[in-house]
Amino acid sequence: MKYFGLVWAGLWRKKTRTVFTMISIVIAFLLFGLLQGINQGFGTAMANLDVDRLYVSARTSMTDGMPISYLSRIRSVPGVRAVSLWAYFGGYFQDARKPIPAFATDAVELFRVYKEIKIKPEYIEAMAKTRTGVLVGEALAAQYGWKIGDRIPIGTSIWTNKSGSNTWEFDIVGTFDASAYGAGFPSFYLNWSYFDEARQFGTGETHYYIVSVQDPKQAERVSRDIDALFANSSVETRTQTEYALAQSQLKQLGDINFIANAIVGAVLFTLLFLTANTMMQSVRERTSELAVLKTLGFSDTKVLVLVLTEALLLCLFAAGLGIAVAALVFESPALQKLFGDFSMPAIVATMGAGIAVLVAFVSGFPPAWRARQLNIVDALAGR
Amino acid sequence: MTALVTLRNVTKSYVRGKQKVEVLHGVDLSIETGEFLALMGPSGSGKTTLLNLVAGLDQPTSGEVLVAGDRIDQLSRGSLSDWRARHIGFIFQFYNLLPVLTAEANVEVPLLLTSLSKSERRRRVQLALELVGLADRARHKPNELSGGQQQRVAIARAIVSDPTLLVCDEPTGDLDRQNAEEIMNLLQALNRSQNKTIVMVTHDPKAAEYASRELHLDKGRLTNDARRAA
């Protein structure tokens, strides 16, 4: 600790260079924190997905409709506990650029399939009794200032109702808390039966059947049985576990893990050379100063440790700053909206610290070794 | 009087390119405790090489170097570092202060190698700066001080750990006459009032006049050894 002043002062010998090097490290670790944070966040969310839920969609495309008659046939498959459905509504409120994740469903069954959703039973009852009723996620209701009893106009770019309008009016009959499933979980549900009667086309079809199985170990077999039921029909099905579905959706964005690691790897590799260059220049410029330290009695090893500590301080300080900024970014309202109640996982900070130490050692060791090997007489004589 | 420094048949040679150059040829020398020795001679005569050997910065090719009872020619690099920290105070021609540190932080550097507490280190630094008349410049960085003041800070750094021997390599070489005289007066005072043994390399005959003994080197051999009456 008593050497801290000496090391810190050495670090700021060339302020501009140190500041620019630090900014580079801060940006590199900010990027690392953000990408790895997102990566880990997806990983954690995927790991938490239920294995006892299956998603049935048309084999051709997730957006193609399947006959509603499939519902009763799927329910009859041995091992199925409950089945609900989702039909895309594609809604928006007032501004078409601000979509609302709205789906038509069978609410009673939906809350049997998604057991972690917190909702008062009376809201489910009210939904069953009110044809134009909707259940809205608490966060969405808060966002638009909606409350139970409100009648709200919801526009849709897909569906025209039988009165020829693309704006549908709904009555809010209840709210629910689906935070257990993350912020991406649909948070606006209308009655499928009302939706089906009122739309001008696509009648009798839905986009997803969501199946809850009695025993997760039977999920594979149930999937096969469901797809076998509709094999060689006009609309064949593809049944996937929730995990597989999420993965296939993520694949559409690209391999997040690979992209994150590739970018971070390239940035850190560049950083390694940048830091090594800074440290090497710093040591070259201080040859006579390091020789003076040795003259005063600092051993070779002590000088090596001083230079390494300087690199360590530079990297850890700047990396810590970068990771802290990344953590703050995750707390920002915009990202909270995107990822829900999500903080940067502690493992990312730990990984960041580990990489900073590695960068410091790899980039700091050559100049530190050079300083260690310095011959006092030659260095003082400027040779 | 006892001999603080003893050199017996010391030779030193360097390899420069493919050539072996012998800088010192069988030097015998004894320096007593409390002496102020001025080492003089033309460039290339081996003055700085001799100083480096006495200060434990370099090892002789052959011969014995005894300082404060230690055969320093037999010490390893690591042991020599510890030994220098305990026994030697250095004063260089170009001051060699660390530019990023304040005067007091520069003076404190040798004390970082001791087990002294922070408060004790501060007390000693303050005392050393007072001794060289720069207590009021403690928070200044070297580039905020004149050449003479920087050399005073360097002297404070050299004496702060109360070394056995002060070695000075051209301490007035970069100073004007007035500052040179002030520095020499200071070194003389340290020698006389604190009984500090000083070995000083100089080209300047006026600086050498402050010493109690003058030693001349020529082509690696001692040629003249004169003691001056106090």
pLDDT at A324 (0 to 100): 92
> Looking at the predicted structure, is the pLDDT value of residue A192 above 60?
yes
Provide the pLDDT for residue A278. Answer: 84
Give the single-character DSSP code of A296.
T
Model confidence over A127-180: pLDDT tens digits? 999 999 999 999 899 999 999 999 999 999 889 998 899 999 999 999 999 877
Question: Is B106's pLDDT higher than 90?
Answer: yes
What is the percentage of chain A residues whose pLDDT exceeds 90? 52
Q: Dihedral through CA A92, CA A98, CA A104, CA A107, nearest 10? A: -110
For residue A380, the model assigns a pLDDT of 85
Mean pLDDT of A80-89: 93
Is residue A373 within 8 angstroms of chain B, CB to CB? no
Question: How many Cβ atoms from other residues are within 10 Å of residue B149's Cβ?
Answer: 20
pLDDT of residue B14: 87
Phi and psi at A92, nearest 5°, equal -150, 160
pLDDT at position A340 over 70: no
Say yes or no: A288 contacts chain B, CB-CB below 8 A.
Answer: yes
Pick the CATH number of B35-60+77-227 from 1.20.200.10, 3.30.420.40, 3.40.50.300, 3.90.550.10: 3.40.50.300
**Any residues with CB less than 8 A from the CB of B105 and at least 6 apart, and which?**
A5, A6, A9, B98
Percent over 70 (pLDDT), chain A: 92
More confident residue, A225 or A272: A225
Q: What is the mean pLDDT of residues B70-87?
A: 93
Q: Measured between beta carbons, which residues in chain B are less than 8 angstroms from residue A294?
A: 81
CB contact under 8 A, B52 and A377: yes
pLDDT at B110 (0 to 100): 95
For the stretch B88-105, pLDDT in tens is 999 988 889 999 999 999
CA distances, B217 to each of B49, B62, B82, B147, B203 (Å): 11, 18, 29, 28, 11
Characterise B95 by phi-psi region: left (phi > 0), alpha (psi -120 to 50), beta (else): left
Beta-carbon contacts of B115 under 8 Å, excluding residues fewer than 6 positions away, are none
ipTM score over 0.85, yes or no: yes
Which pLDDT value is given to residue A377? 87
Q: CB–CB of B47/B123 below 8 Å?
A: no
d(CA A24, CA A16): 12
Residue A218 pLDDT: 86
Cβ contacts of residue A26 below 8 Å, gap of 6+? A318, A319, A321, A322, A325
pLDDT at A370 over 70: yes
Q: How confident is the model at residue A296 (pLDDT cuts 50, 70, 90)?
A: very high
Percent of chain B surpassing pLDDT 70: 99
Select from A295, A300, A380 the Cβ nearest to the Cβ of B78: A300
pLDDT of amino acid A338:
60
The per-residue pLDDT of chain A, averaged, comes to: 88
pLDDT score recorded for residue A44 = 65
H/E run at residue A169: strand A167-176
**Mean pLDDT in residue range A15-39:** 88
| Band (B74; pLDDT cuts 50, 70, 90) | very high
Could you tell me which residue, A87 or A348, shows the higher pLDDT? Answer: A87
Closest CB to B112 among A2, A12, A299: A2
**Are the beta carbons of B109 and A296 separated by less than 8 Å?**
yes
pLDDT-derived band of residue A183, with 50, 70 and 90 as boundaries? low
Strands in B19-32's sheet, in edge-to-edge order, are B19-32, B3-16, B62-67, B70-71
Band of residue B230 on the pLDDT scale cut at 50, 70, 90:
low
* Closest residue of chain A to B106, computed from CA coordinates: A6
Question: Is A325 an 8 Å CB contact of chain B?
Answer: no
For residue A170, what pLDDT is reported?
Answer: 95
Taken in order A241, A244, A246, A252, the sign of the CA dihedral is: negative
pLDDT band at B61 (very low <50, low <70, confident <90, very high): very high
Q: Which amino acid is at B76?
A: S
The helix or strand, by DSSP H or E, that contains position B145, with its residue range, turns out to be none
Cβ of residue A64 closer than 8 Å to a chain B Cβ: no
Q: Give the least confident one: A18-32, A247-261, A286-300, B108-122.
A: A247-261
Residue A36 class from Cβ within 10 Å (0-12 exposed, 13-18 middle, 19+ buried)?
buried
A254 touches B at CB < 8 Å: no
With cut-offs at 50, 70 and 90, classify the pLDDT of residue B56.
very high
What does the pLDDT read at residue A45?
A: 64
Q: What is the rounded distance in angstroms from the CA atom of residue B30 to the CA atom of residue B200?
A: 15
Report the pLDDT value the prediction gives residue A49, as an integer from 0 to 100.
65
Question: How confident is the prediction for chain B on average, in pLDDT?
Answer: 91
Q: Which residue matches tokens 């990771």?
A: A323
| Closest chain B C-alpha to A286 CA, distance in angstroms | 9
* Least confident among A58-67, A244-253, A343-352, B183-192: A244-253
Does the distance separating the beta carbons of B92 and A297 come in below 8 Å?
Answer: no
What per-residue confidence (pLDDT) applies to A241? 84
One-letter amino acid for residue A118 of the chain = K
How many CB pairs (< 8 A) connect A and B?
67
pLDDT score recorded for residue A197: 93
pLDDT at B109: 95
B91 close to A304: Cβ distance less than 8 angstroms: no
Cβ <8 Å between A288 and B96: yes
Residues of A (294-323) whose Cβ lies below 8 Å from B: 294-302
Question: How confident is the model over A92-103, as pLDDT tens digits?
Answer: 998 888 889 899
